[in-house]
Amino acid sequence: MTQVKVYPSLLSADFLTLNDELEALENAKVDGVHFDVMDGQFVPNISIGVPILDAVRKGTQLPIDVHLMIEHPEQYIPTIAEHGADLISVHVEATPHIHRAIQLIKQHDAKAGVVINPGTPISEIVPVLRDVDYVLVMTVNPGFGGQPFIENCIEKIDQLMELKSSQSLSFSIEVDGGINDKTAPVVKEHGADMLVVGSHFFQQSDYAAVTNQLKG
Ligand code: DX5
Ligand code: ZN
């Protein structure tokens, strides 16, 4: 099994003490921070955007993994990249031009990811698997932290692993939603190598312990 990377989702962090949170995450040796952008259109919630991204960029050296849950993502990719994102992922459901969006991310020197919702089949992203650095398999319907893991999304990890091997592809598989001490071992066993962890992570007081447990 490959070593997994852990990306705590800042949506569940304490925004009043964000700088301390970022320092604690660095000390806990997480692999990066996950940054959820929601527009109230693509998903039924709004969250954080460029001013907070600027603050996070100033507050940490950790890679920032931006998950765009917005309509017309192409319009915002250059800005998000210029404000410090290291990885940017775009939902296949959010644009008719997913290939163009992925190229745009790469042109701005960020790692490119494609995201699929629980209701979207893997076949929708097969045409771009060769182009992406990672596939983000949503294991909840996007929009909110703290939702329960949707079991049947695991099958998509299996399908992606098969495609990786049959087509000799090297993308990473990230999972996001309901990841905790029970679900992390399961998704890892199936082949996920990037874990986004929101509510479970920030509910713990010892971030190093939870990071080690999730990686373990
Ligand atoms: C949900 C977001 C997630 C969220 C995960 O739409 O994409 O990143 O923060 O939170 P948990 O781990 O609590 O499900
Ligand atoms: Zn996310």
E strand or H helix that includes residue 21: helix 18-27
| pLDDT reported for residue 70 | 98
Q: Residue 67: nearest ligand to its CA? A: 2
| pLDDT tens for the chain, residues 1 to 216 | 568 999 999 999 999 999 999 999 999 999 999 999 999 999 999 999 999 999 999 999 999 999 999 999 999 999 999 999 999 999 999 999 999 999 999 999 999 999 999 999 999 999 999 999 999 999 999 999 999 999 999 999 999 999 999 999 999 999 999 999 999 999 999 999 999 999 999 999 999 999 999 998
| Residue among 89, 144, 202 whose CB has most ligand 1 atoms within 8 A, to mutate | 144
Burial of 214 (0-12, 13-18, 19+ CB in 10 A): buried
Cβ-contact 112, 150 below 8 angstroms: no
pTM over 0.85: yes
Q: How far apart (Å, rounded) are the C-alpha atoms in residues 86 and 90?
A: 14
In angstroms, how far is CA 47 from the centroid of its own chain? Answer: 15
| pLDDT reported for residue 1 | 55
In angstroms, how far is CA 97 from the centroid of its own chain? Answer: 20
Residue 196 CA to ligand 2 centre (angstroms): 7
Ramachandran angles phi, psi of 108, nearest 5°: -95, 20
| Residue 36 designated active-site | yes
Instruction: Count how many residues are written for the chain.
Output: 216
Ligand 1: residues within 6 Å at CB? 9, 11-12, 34, 36, 67, 140, 142-147, 176-179, 196-200
Q: Which of 31, 39, 65, 176 is catalytic?
A: 176
- b vs e for 112-133, b when ≥16 Cβ sit within 10 Å of the residue's Cβ? bbbbbbeebebeebeebbebbb
| Residue 206 designated active-site | no
Q: Residue 141: nearest ligand to its CA? A: 1
Q: How far apart (Å, rounded) are the C-alpha atoms in residues 176 and 9?
A: 9
The conformation of residue 98, written as its DSSP 8-state character, comes to H
